[in-house]
Amino acid sequence: MATPKRVEVLGAPVDCVDLEGALAAIDTLIAGPEARAVVAVNPEKVIKAQSDPVLRRSLASAGLLIPDGIGVVYAVRLLRHERLERVPGAELMPAICARAALRGYPVFLFGASREVNEKASAVLAKEYPGLVIAGHHHGYVDDAAMPDLVAAINASGAQVLFVALGSPRQELWMEKYLPELRHVRVCQGVGGTFDVIAGRVRRAPLAFRRANLEWFYRLVTEPRRAIRQIVLPRFTYQVFREKLFG
């Protein structure tokens, strides 16, 4: 499998993949020599990366940058004339679990509350027969206890690690601790996906997802997200400015 083509949108990198292309890239990373991060790219992160050198570094070093936000997909098509599809992290994680069940990749779930973490682990084990959940741990771990957690992940033999700490905390965690992971080859930051799998949070109805309006549904149902999504007009302005003026 060739490495996905990587392009830049407003200075932030993103890989030109669809879901199947992302899964093929995961297989390639699994066969690699070291742990690599899988990071979702959306307009919010693109704008934040312009002023956040740590986030820029995390994006640049990632093994796979999925086009999670539909705004990023449209921007790449408009500015770079590349073919790609939206790959929501909430869909990639279960797809990776299905792949792992077939190919024997052990997985580890880290993050969310104890209740949500345990429920998500149980649901995935039932949903994907043959999936080896090598271990799981909630996300309420302080810095002093982190070496013990890293040791537990290493002892589990997990090749795939899902980190549900929210952004940018999960990206910062991956940048700091990936070099210490011995067996993990793929580490995906999954945000609130454990809550979705555990049934604590509902995704947008299928009609909204097909119309690429999942962001709007989440804004209406979670008004507090308005503060985060205030960057969307800025992102749109910058995209059209680059299109018009280069």
pLDDT for residue 129: 95
Instruction: Tell me which DSSP letter residue 70 carries.
Output: H
Nearest to 14 by CA among 58, 66, 50, 56: 66
Give the pLDDT of residue 48: 93
What is the per-residue pLDDT for 42? 94
Question: What are the Cα distances from residue 220, in Å, to 214, 223, 224, 225, 226?
Answer: 10, 6, 9, 9, 9
pLDDT at 206 over 90: no
The CA dihedral of 161, 133, 138, 32, to the nearest 10 degrees, is -10
Which of 58, 47, 62 has the alpha carbon at shortest distance from 11?
Answer: 47
pLDDT tens readout for residues 84-112: 999 999 999 999 999 999 999 999 999 99
Inter-CA distances, 83 with 33, 67, 74, 107, 175, Å: 29, 11, 10, 31, 29
Say yes or no to pLDDT of 236 above 80.
Answer: yes
Contact 192, 167 (CB under 8 A): no
Percentage above 90 pLDDT, the chain: 80
| Domain definitions of the chain by residue range | 12-197, 206-235
pLDDT, mean over the chain: 92
Question: Residue written as tokens 């930051």?
Answer: 189
- pLDDT one-digit tens code per residue, 4-40: 999 999 999 999 999 999 999 999 999 999 999 999 9
pTM: 0.90
**CA distances, 49 to each of 46, 175, 188 (Å):** 5, 15, 19
Per-residue pLDDT band for 211 (boundaries 50, 70, 90) equals confident
Give, in order, the Cα–Cα distances in Å from 18 to each of 4, 82, 200, 223. 10, 12, 27, 30
In the predicted model, is pLDDT for residue 228 greater than 70?
no
What CATH number labels 12-197?
A: 3.40.50
- Three-state DSSP state, 38: strand
Confidence of residue 223 (pLDDT cuts 50, 70, 90): low
- Give the H or E element holding residue 104: none
Give the CA dihedral 219, 225, 227, 232, nearest 10 degrees: -50
**Mean pLDDT on 192-208:** 85
What pLDDT shows up at residue 219? 67
Ramachandran class of 111: left when φ > 0, alpha when ψ lies in -120 to 50, beta otherwise: left
Q: Is the peptide bond before 223 cis (omega within 30 degrees of 0)?
A: no
Closest CA to 195 of 141, 115, 129, 125: 115
Q: Residue 168's pLDDT is what? A: 84
Kindly indicate the confidence band of residue 212, based on its pLDDT and cuts at 50, 70 and 90: confident
- Assess whether pLDDT exceeds 80 at residue 217: no
How does 50-63 read in b/e, with b if 16+ C-beta sit within 10 Å?
eeeeebbebbeebb
Phi, psi for 187 (deg, rounded to 5): -130, 110
Say how many C-beta atoms besides its own lie within 10 A of residue 185's C-beta: 21
